[in-house]
């Protein structure tokens, strides 16, 4: 089973992958903008900006994900998927750039309040569906 299959299919404990990603993106104060600000504060703002911009998405490693996200956020995400935090970090390294890219099709953050324009569970489900093709 591939990485995206695992995310789309749910975790070993039946957690909602869509809910886990939505929760992660919404966990930051300020929503998507807040999450991108966390990357900036960690010295990875240029990398995250590539996901928002219209050019190529720069890759991120699991170790970089771990350096940006708090251990609590990563542990919560992992628990919702039923995987260990290192596996969750690897999953986010593969998926987060693409999710943020899809959430920012015009090369800028969407207007949408504290949630950062996440479009709810349906919006994330649509994005993950596109990535799984």
| Measured CA angle at 108 (ends 100, 125), to 5 deg | 30
pTM score:
0.73
Q: What is the pLDDT of residues 18-65, one digit of tens each?
A: 778 878 877 777 788 888 889 999 999 999 999 998 889 999 999 999
**Mean pLDDT, the chain, whole residue set:** 76
For the chain, which residues make up each domain, given as ranges?
3-131
pLDDT band at residue 11 under the 50/70/90 scheme: very low
Q: What is the pLDDT of residues 99-111, one digit of tens each?
A: 888 888 888 877 7
Distance CA 20, CA 111 (A): 22
pLDDT, residue 1, reads 40
Long-range contacts of 121-126 (CB under 8 A, 24+ apart): 121/18, 121/19, 121/22, 124/18, 124/21, 124/22, 124/25, 124/99, 125/18
CATH class of 3-131: mainly alpha
């Amino acid at each position: 089973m591939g990485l995206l299959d695992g995310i789309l299919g749910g975790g070993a404990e039946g957690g909602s992958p869509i809910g886990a990603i939505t929760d992660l993106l919404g966990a930051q104060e300020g929503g998507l903008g807040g999450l991108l600000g966390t990357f900036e504060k960690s010295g990875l703002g240029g990398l995250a900006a590539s996901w928002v911009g219209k050019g190529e998405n720069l890759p991120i490693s699991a170790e970089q994900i771990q350096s940006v996200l708090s251990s609590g956020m990563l542990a919560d995400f992992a628990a919702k998927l039923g995987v260990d935090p290192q596996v969750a970090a690897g999953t986010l390294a593969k998926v987060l750039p693409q999710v943020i890219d899809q959430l920012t099709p015009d090369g800028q953050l969407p207007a949408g309040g504290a949630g950062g324009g996440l479009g709810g569970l349906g919006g994330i489900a649509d994005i993950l569906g596109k990535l799984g093709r």
